[in-house]
C-alpha cells in the first residue's frame, strides 16, 4: 500500500478549498490572459532599480481545468484555470538574463494571495510542479531560474568565472537577490493584473513564501534581508549553512580506517530506532525524542546483529551500484557510528558543525563499492564544498590529508567566501516581526540530509538575539508569537521517512501559514496526519519547539525538557565568533 495513494484517498478537497469568493476583478480568464493585457500589467520601467524587463520576451497562455496533484505537504486541487506567463529581465549595465515564470489564477479563483516558490539543491526552481502549489490556495505563484540560463539549469553552470574564481553576481543571485527581484516584480504584477489601484483602497494582497531544503534557505534569506516582503513564510528543512557536515561521515571512516557497507550502518540505525522508540512514551516505530536517543543508544549494542541487503542499483551520482551483502555488525562499524553521533570536533575539542542523532539515517556516510578490488571505499558528498569553497568543478574529494581540522577550516573559509551572500543564519528578524510577518519553520527530526539540529540552533539564535533580556522560556514565548519551529517526529528531508513510516506529517503547511497570517490562528501545535501503521489517517499534531512530545496513555503532552535544549542547541564554538 503506498502512502501516496492513501493520501489521495484520505483528504477531501472540498475541506481544504475555501470558498472562492473574494476577487479583485470581475472578468474572465480569457479576457485578461492575453499578451496585451499582461504587458500592461507588468511593472513600469524603473519600478525596481537596476532591473530592466524585456517586454519582447513575454509569453502568455491560458490554461483551463488544470489538476494540481497532491503531495505530502499540500492537498492538491482540481479544475484550476490560470494564466501562464513568462518573461525575462536583465540587470542594468550587464547583458545577463534572468527568466521569471508566473501562474496567475483565473480571476474567479484568485484569493488575494501572492506566493514565491523556492528551489532545491543548487537550483532555484521546481518549475511547474513548484508553481502549481499556489493554485491550491488561489495565489499567484512565481519562480525564477536565478539567471543561470534556463529553468533546467542550476548554479553550477555559472558559479565559477572562466578564470576559475567565484562569480559573485551569480552567487548573490542564488543567495538572495533573484528571489527578492522575482518577489517584487511578482507582487506588482499581481496587483496590476487583478486591477488593483494605487490609492490604498484595494483589498490587501497577502504575500507568502513556500520552500523546503534549498527553498527553505531561500525563504529565510528573504525574511532576514527584506523584512516587509512577505506576510508569511513556510520554511522547510532549510539548508542554511555550508554543507561541510556532509563530509563528516567519510572523514570519520578514513580516520578510523573502516569503510562499512551501507547495509551495516543501516542496521545500526534500525537498532537505534527500535531501542529509542518508546522513549517518547509511545511504541509506534517513531522516535519522537531523538535527543534522548543520543544519550540512550550506544552502537556497541549492535555488535553481532545480522545485516542482509539485496543489491542496490544506485546511479554513479549516488556512488554507483552496491552488491548484495550480508554479515554481522562489527566493532569497527559501531565505532564509526558512535563517532558520527558524537558530533564533529576539532583537535582543540571545539564543535565544528551540525550532525545527526542515532535514530537518523546516515546517507552521507554511505560508502561506494569498488567491483575491481571488492572493497568499500569512501564516497564524499563534496559537490557544494568543491564548487563554492574550493572553487573546483569536481565530484572528486581526495581524503588523504583531510582531518577534522581541515573541515573546520572549510567552515571558516565558507563563512568568509559565501557566508554573507548564501548562508541564511542572520538571527535579527526585527523588521520582519515588526511588519507583522509570521514564520512557520518545520524540519523532519530524522532528516539525514540537513540535520534538524541546524534549525534548532538557528531558531534559538533568533530568540537570544531578539529577546536578550528574557529567560529561555519567556524568550520562546515571545518568539512563538510570530516564529515557530516544529520538529516533525520521524520525518526525513522534506518528505516522510521510510525507516519510520508511522510518523505524523504536516500535509497542508501553507494552510497553517495562511490561517496564522489572515485569521490570526497561531499554531500552538502544527496540524499533522499519521501516514502509516494502526493509526494511519488520524490527526496527530506536532509540538512546537522547544516543547517535546510525551505520550501518556494515548494522550500527547508537549513538555519542556532541558535535555532537549542541551542536545539540540550546542555551541558551534570551533570558530571563535558567534556562529548561528
Ligand atoms: C460581475 O459579473 C456578473 C456577470 O457578468 C454581473 O452580473 C455582476 O454585476 C458583476 N459584478 C460587478 C461587481 O461588476
Ligand atoms: C472545464 O471543465 C468544465 C467542467 O468541469 C467544463 O464545463 C468546461 O467546458 C471545461 N473547460 C475547458 C476549457 O475545457
Ligand atoms: C507555460 O509557458 C511556458 C513558456 O511558454 C511553456 O513552456 C509551458 O509549457 C507553459 N505551461 C503550460 C501549463 O501551459
Ligand atoms: C481611491 O479610493 C476612493 C475611495 O474608495 C475611490 O472612490 C477612488 O475611485 C479611488 N481612486 C483610484 C484612482 O482608484
Ligand atoms: C537475506 O535476505 C534474502 C532476501 O530477503 C534471503 O533470501 C536470505 O535468506 C537472507 N539471508 C540470510 C542469511 O538471512
Ligand atoms: Ca515512539
For cell 490572459, what's the residue? 33
The answer on 255 and 132 residing in a single domain is no
Adjacent-strand bridge partners of 83 = 62, 104
The answer on 176 and 33 residing in a single domain is yes
**Annotated catalytic residue, options 180, 441, 459, 493:** 493
The answer on 166 and 34 residing in a single domain is yes
Residue 400 is a catalytic residue: no
Instruction: Out of 65, 66, 80, 108, give the residue to mutate to test ligand 2, the one with the largest number of ligand atoms within 8 Å of its CB.
Output: 65
What b/e readout covers 332-343, taking b as 16+ CB neighbours within 10 angstroms? bbbbbbbbbbeb
Last residue of a domain, one of 399, 419, 439: 419
Chunked mean pLDDT (size 10), the chain, 580 residues: 28 32 64 96 96 98 97 97 98 96 96 97 97 98 98 97 96 98 97 70 87 98 98 98 97 98 98 98 98 98 98 93 98 98 98 97 97 97 96 94 98 96 97 98 98 98 98 98 98 97 97 98 98 96 98 96 98 93
For residue 132, the Cα-to-chain-centroid distance in whole angstroms is: 18
The answer on 354 and 459 residing in a single domain is no
Nearest residue (CA) to ligand 5, atom 2: 308
Cell digits of residue 204: 490587501
Report how far ligand 6's centroid is from the alpha carbon of 578 (Å). 35
Report how far ligand 6's centroid is from the alpha carbon of 445 (Å). 12
CA atoms within a 13 Å half-sphere pointing along the CA-CB vector of 114: 25
Instruction: Out of 57, 67, 84, give the residue to mutate to test ligand 3, the one with the largest number of ligand atoms within 8 Å of its CB.
Output: 84
The answer on 253 and 150 residing in a single domain is no
Number of domains in the chain: 3
The answer on 345 and 276 residing in a single domain is yes
What b/e readout covers 234-251, taking b as 16+ CB neighbours within 10 angstroms? bbbbbbbbbbbbbbbbbb
Nearest residue (CA) to ligand 5, atom 10: 308
Last residue of a domain, one of 363, 396, 419: 419
Last residue of a domain, one of 128, 163, 193: 193
The answer to the question of residue 577 being in a domain is: no
**Ligand 5-lining residues (CB < 6 angstroms):** 308, 310, 326
Ligand 3 proximity of 86 Cβ (cutoff 6 Å): yes
The answer on 140 and 111 residing in a single domain is yes
The answer on 441 and 415 residing in a single domain is no
Report how far ligand 5's centroid is from the alpha carbon of 310 (Å). 8
The answer to the question of residue 219 being in a domain is: no
Residue 441 is a catalytic residue: no
The answer on 90 and 119 residing in a single domain is yes
Ligand 3 proximity of 57 Cβ (cutoff 6 Å): no
Q: What is the CA radius of gyration of the chain?
A: 24
What residues make up the domain containing 404? 244-419
**What is the longest distance spanned by two Cα atoms in the chain?**
74
- CA angle in degrees (0–180, nearest 5) for 340-492-67: 160
Assess contact for 248 and 451: CB atoms under 8 A.
no
The answer on 257 and 188 residing in a single domain is no
pTM of the model: 0.92
Nearest residue (CA) to ligand 2, atom 12: 64
Report how far ligand 2's centroid is from the alpha carbon of 29 (Å). 13
Ligand 4 proximity of 200 Cβ (cutoff 6 Å): no
The answer on 407 and 435 residing in a single domain is no
Ligand 3 proximity of 61 Cβ (cutoff 6 Å): yes
The answer to the question of residue 388 being in a domain is: yes
The answer on 446 and 393 residing in a single domain is no
Helix (H, G, I), strand (E, B) or coil at 52: strand
The answer to the question of residue 464 being in a domain is: yes
Adjacent-strand bridge partners of 143 = 101
pLDDT of residue 66: 98
Assess contact for 31 and 66: CB atoms under 8 A.
no
Q: Using CA atoms, how far apart are residues 403 and 562, in angstroms rounded to an integer?
A: 33
Residue 493 is a catalytic residue: yes
Atom of ligand 5 nearest to the CA of 326: 13
The answer to the question of residue 198 being in a domain is: no
Helix (H, G, I), strand (E, B) or coil at 428: coil
Report how far ligand 5's centroid is from the alpha carbon of 330 (Å). 19
pLDDT of residue 27: 84
The answer to the question of residue 505 being in a domain is: yes
The answer to the question of residue 117 being in a domain is: yes
Atom of ligand 2 nearest to the CA of 64: 13
Report how far ligand 1's centroid is from the alpha carbon of 156 (Å). 51
Nearest residue to 230 (alpha-carbon basis) of 142, 127, 116, 100? 116
The answer to the question of residue 226 being in a domain is: no
Amino acid at each position: 500500500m503506498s502512502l501516496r495513494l492513501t493520501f489521495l484517498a484520505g483528504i477531501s478537497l472540498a475541506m481544504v478549498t475555501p470558498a472562492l469568493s473574494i476577487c479583485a476583478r470581475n472578468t474572465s480568464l480569457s479576457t485578461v490572459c492575453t499578451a496585451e493585457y499582461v504587458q500592461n500589467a507588468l511593472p513600469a520601467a524603473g519600478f525596481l532599480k537596476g532591473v530592466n524587463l524585456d517586454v519582447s520576451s513575454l509569453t502568455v497562455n491560458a490554461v483551463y481545468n488544470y489538476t494540481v496533484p497532491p503531495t505530502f505537504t499540500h492537498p492538491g486541487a482540481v479544475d484550476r484555470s490560470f494564466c501562464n506567463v513568462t518573461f525575462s529581465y536583465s540587470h542594468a549595465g550587464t547583458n545577463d538574463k534572468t527568466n521569471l515564470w508566473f501562474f496567475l489564477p483565473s480571476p474567479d479563483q484568485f484569493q488575494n494571495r501572492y506566493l514565491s516558490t523556492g528551489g532545491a539543491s543548487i537550483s532555484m526552481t521546481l518549475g511547474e510542479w513548484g508553481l502549481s502549489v499556489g493554485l491550491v490556495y488561489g495565489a499567484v505563484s512565481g519562480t525564477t531560474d536565478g539567471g543561470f540560463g534556463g529553468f533546467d539549469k542550476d548554479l553550477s553552470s555559472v558559479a565559477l568565472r572562466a578564470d576559475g574564481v567565484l562569480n559573485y553576481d551569480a552567487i548573490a543571485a542564488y543567495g538572495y537577490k533573484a528571489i527578492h527581484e522575482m518577489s517584487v516584480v511578482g507582487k506588482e504584477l499581481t496587483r496590476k493584473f487583478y486591477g488593483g489601484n494605487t490609492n490604498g483602497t484595494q483589498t490587501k494582497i497577502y504575500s507568502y513564501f513556500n520552500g523546503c531544503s534549498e527553498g527553505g534557505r531561500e525563504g529565510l534569506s528573504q525574511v532576514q534581508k527584506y523584512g516587509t516582503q512577505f506576510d508569511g513564510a513556510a520554511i522547510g528543512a532549510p539548508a542554511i549553512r555550508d554543507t561541510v557536515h556532509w563530509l563528516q561521515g567519510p572523514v570519520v571512516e578514513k580516520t578510523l580506517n573502516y569503510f562499512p557497507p551501507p547495509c551495516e550502518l543501516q542496521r545500526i540505525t534500525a537498532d537505534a530506532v527500535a531501542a529509542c522508540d518508546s522513549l517518547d512514551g509511545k511504541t509506534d516505530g517513531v522516535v519522537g525524542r531523538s535527543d534522548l536517543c543520543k544519550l540512550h543508544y550506544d552502537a556497541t549494542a549492535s555488535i553481532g546483529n545480522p545485516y542482509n541487503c539485496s543489491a542496490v542499483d544506485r546511479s554513479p551520482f549516488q556512488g554507483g551500484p552496491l552488491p548484495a551483502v550480508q554479515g554481522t555488525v562489527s566493532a569497527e562499524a559501531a565505532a564509526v557510528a558512535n563517532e558520527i553521533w558524537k558530533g564533529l570536533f576539532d583537535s582543540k575539542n571545539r564543535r565544528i558543525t551540525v550532525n545527526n542523532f542515532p535514530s537518523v539515517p546516515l546517507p552521507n556516510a554511505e560508502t561506494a563499492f569498488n567491483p575491481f578490488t571488492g572493497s568499500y571505499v569512501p564516497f564524499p558528498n563534496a559537490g557544494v564544498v568543491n564548487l563554492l569553497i574550493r572553487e573546483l568543478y569536481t565530484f572528486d574529494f581526495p581524503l588523504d590529508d583531510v582531518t577534522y581540522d581541515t573541515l573546520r577550516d572549510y567552515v571558516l573559509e565558507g563563512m568568509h567566501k559565501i557566508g554573507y551572500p548564501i548562508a541564511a543564519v542572520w538571527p535579527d528578524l526585527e523588521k520582519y516581526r515588526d511588519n507583522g510577518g509570521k514564520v512557520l519553520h518545520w524540519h523532519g527530526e530524522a532528516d539525514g540530509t540537513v540535520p534538524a539540529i541546524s534549525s534548532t540552533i538557528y531558531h534559538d539564535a533568533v530568540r537570544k538575539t531578539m529577546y536578550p533580556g528574557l529567560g529561555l522560556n519567556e524568550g520562546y514565548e515571545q518568539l512563538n508569537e510570530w516564529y515557530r519551529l516544529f520538529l516533525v517526529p520521524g520525518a526525513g528531508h522534506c518528505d516522510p521517512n521510510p525507516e519510520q513510516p508511522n510518523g505524523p506529517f504536516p500535509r497542508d503547511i501553507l494552510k497553517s501559514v495562511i490561517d496564522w497570517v489572515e485569521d490570526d490562528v497561531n499554531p500552538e501545535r502544527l496540524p499533522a496526519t499519521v501516514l502509516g501503521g494502526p493509526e494511519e489517517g488520524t490527526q496527530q499534531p506536532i509540538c512546537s519547539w522547544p516543547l517535546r512530545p510525551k505520550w501518556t496513555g494515548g494522550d500527547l503532552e508537549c513538555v519542556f525538557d532541558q535535555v532537549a535544549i542541551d542536545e539540540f542547541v550546542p555551541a558551534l564554538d570551533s570558530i571563535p565568533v558567534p556562529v548561528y
